[in-house]
Every structure is written in structure tokens, then in C-alpha cells.
Chain A
Amino acid sequence: MCLGIPGEIVAIDDAATLTAVVEVSGVRRRVNLACVLPTGADPASLLGYWVLVHVGFAMSLIDAEEAHQTLRLLAELEAFADEVR
């Protein structure tokens, strides 16, 4: 049961209940941060972060550097193919 979608934390809706607003392609939804906010940290510290959203909860902070790395690997594949050609 695993539909998860990346979204950006664009606002804090209610710091007390760890509720943020996440935007996915222009659509906003309230999302709970309990699983990704370090204990005791200010929810606002996550503004601008991208998270993986599943059933109304942010379940992972997306690592942009890792995403970049994966894509770089794929791009190298393409470069290599061009060389062979």
C-alpha cells in the first residue's frame, strides 16, 4: 500500500500538532510531520524541504543530493552509449 508522492513543505499549519502544508504540483494538503521532525525541533525548520507523503504523513525527507547522484549515474550511462556509437 504504497502510493507516495514528493511534495514541498510550504507552510506550517499548526506547530502544536506538527501539521504542515505540503504542495504537490500546485495542490496543497495538510500533512503531519511527526515522522520526519527531529524530536524537539521547530517545525518551521523544515520549511522548503521536500518530503515523501503517504496517507497524510511525511514519511521521509527527500535527499536532493542522492537524487542528483542517481541521475548523474544514469546520465553517464547515456554519455557512455554515445561514445560507443
Chain B
Amino acid sequence: MKFVDEFRDPALAKQLLTRIAQRMASPVLQARAPIRIMEVCGGHTHSIFRYGLEALLPQTLELIHGPGCPVCVLPREHVDDCLAIAAQPDVIFTTFGDAMRVPGSRQTLQQARAGGADIRMVYSPLDALQIARENPQRRVVFFGLGFETTMPATALTVQQAVGKQVDNFFLLCHHITIVPTLKALLDDEDVCVDAFIGPGHVSMVIGLEPYGFIAEQYRKPFIISGFEPLDILQSILMLLDQLVEGRAEVGNQYSRVVHEQGNIQAQQAVAEVFELRERSAWRGLGEIDQSGVRLRTRYAALDAEREFALRSTRVDDPAECRCGEVLKGQLQPQQCPLFGSGCTPAQPMGALMVSSEGACAACFQYQRNDSQ
């Protein structure tokens, strides 16, 4: 596969790993060890585990698996909202496969489907719109979740729904935005991160500029990275170079896909359809100011929150959950007392065990032996 296989070349990976080891052996970094690098995006977490990269890296280099998995940080009360809507007899509830197994306070969407609710997985929000056009007598709700990568797709679908006058299509919007959450993490004194692997596909939409403050104010190197193993290794090397030389800059390893300005057309669609909420809840992290979006008033007719008059009550994770500390890099997943006993991918208690991209679920599925 073009643009994929070239970036999975084992020989080049070996060279990169040698270089990374050399950098880590430099006096500057030895003095600072361990070096902690956070990959913000769940897609990176997935690749790191899928290719077993952690075990290939020097032991003094720790990867912290950050908050960039939208399924993991989806609060339970929002799943409860989905369930309440899906329970309406005239509703077809549509969403991505990722959301199907996320537990609400009592059930998952998958379980609700078994109980008779009409819940359908779609690959694209446009598929949900198509379902609405084919079922004019039903209310079709699309549960939109995800970061900036996915927002434009939802925005354009909303615009199409209005343009084509599909009046039985509704959006339940749980799109969130990563930058305020990074800022919140950086402001937290407990966070121990030396550098960031930046989210490639979020940046393809928003560009490089929004991350400037991380380098300027917080003096942390930040490299936007692709998702193939060579991309990730090269990004790590670029971050180490900055640390060795005492630089803190925003760099772009993923230049084949991420352009400096991002995708202007996508940004315009997002700005036309969505506005920032004052604050949004993140499972495991709590409420963060201006970290999520909702439909603008001009699209209120499509807003499922309004249509279904949702009144969800907050559902906290059990007190024993240590997800927040894992997200901040203070705790390895296996160090959580619930890991693998009270909390497993089949019966998740905490946010990070929910999706295969969650740090704990990835550890559980790919590295159980290490913890035994």
C-alpha cells in the first residue's frame, strides 16, 4: 500500500532505534532520565502497542499514553443520553462502531440493541444521513463523537441535511477539542512530561499554529507525527534532538499529510456549524473549559439535545479508579490496583479500559505478561 508500507520498513526502523539509543546516551539526557514523552492521540497509542515499539525503546525513555481517545474520555452520562434517545420507538440511532461497547451507568449501546432498540453502526456520518432519507417516518439520530479530525465530516453532513431539507435527521454532538485539554494537563503541577508526540490527523485539520503556546510558554518540544511505526520513531528522534539541544519548537514529521495551515475548508465548515461550549466533561479528567463544541443556534432544529430534552445526571467513576493519574503520566496502567482484576476490557470500570486505544486496555490486551 502506497504511503503506508514504505513507513513500515523494519531495516529503517532499526536505524532509527539505534539513533534513539545514541541520543538517550548523551550526557544531557542521561542527566534528565527518565525522559517522558506523551503521545497525545489514541491512534499513536494503538500503533505503539500494535508494533510492540515500547519494548524496542531504551528503558530510560517512557511513553505516556495521553488523553487522545475520544471513546475513553466519553462520560458515562453521555452514553446514558444515547440510550435514552435510542429507547424512543420511532428513533434509529446511528454511531461509529467504537461507541457500541462504551458502558453507560447501566448498559452499553450494544446491549440496548439486543434489547430491541434500533441502533446501527455507520462508517460515515453521511451514511446516517442516507438512512434518514430512506426512513422519512423515523427520527434518525447520529451520535457524533471525536476530535477535530472528525468534526468537519459531521459539520458537512449537517450542512447537507439542511441543504437537502432532511428534517428527520438529528445530531447528538459530543465532539471535543484537544488543545484546551493539553493546556489543562500542562497547568497541572503533577504532570511529568518532557515532550509531546502531536496528533497527526487532528493537525491535518487545525494546522500547526494552535500548538505554539506549548513550545513558547511551557518550553516543551512538540512534534506532529504520522501513525506508521517509522513516523512515530522518527518523531521520537526529532523530540530527543530538541531536548539535547535545549530547543522547544513545534515541528511537523507528518508533512505528507499535515500542511502548515491545516485544512482551511474543513475549518470553515466547523466554524459555520459549531460553537464552543463553556465547558465539557472528560471521563477521568473532569470538566475542562472550552474543550467541546455544540451546534450553533441556526442549526438548533437538528440538535438532538433540544429535540429530546436531555437531562442527564453526572455519573462518576468508582473512587478506586486511578485513570486521571495514568493520563497524567504519574502511574503506569499496571500499577493501578484495579488493573486486570476489578477492571478489564470485558468489564471496564475506568475510562482507560474502555476502548482498545485506552492506555489500560492496550496494556491489558498486548502486554499482560509483563504485569504478571
Contacts and interface: CB of A to CB of B under 8 A. Distances in A.
A57 B265 CA distance: 12
Contacts, number: 131
A81 B15 contact: yes
Given A34-B156, A50-B3, A54-B149, A66 B15 contact: no
Contact of A35 (B16, B96, B201, B266): B266
Interface string B203-245: 0110000000000000000000001001000100000000000
A24 B202 CA distance: 21
Interface residues of B, number: 55
A11 interface: no
Contacts of A47: none
A35 B266 CA distance: 5
In this complex, which of B3, B147, B205, B255 has the most chain A Cβ atoms within 10 angstroms of its Cβ? Answer: B3
Given A59-B204, A78-B15, A54 B150 contact: yes
A62 B153 contact: no
Given A25-B1, A69-B255, A55 B15 contact: no
B18 interface: yes
Q: Place the interface of chain A in its size category.
A: 35 or more
B147 A2 contact: yes
Interface stretch (B56-64, B118-126, B272-280, B314-322): B118-126
A77 B3 contact: no
A71 interface: yes
A65 to B, nearest CB: 8
A55 B95 CA distance: 11
A29 B234 CA distance: 31
Interface string B182-204: 00000000000000000111101
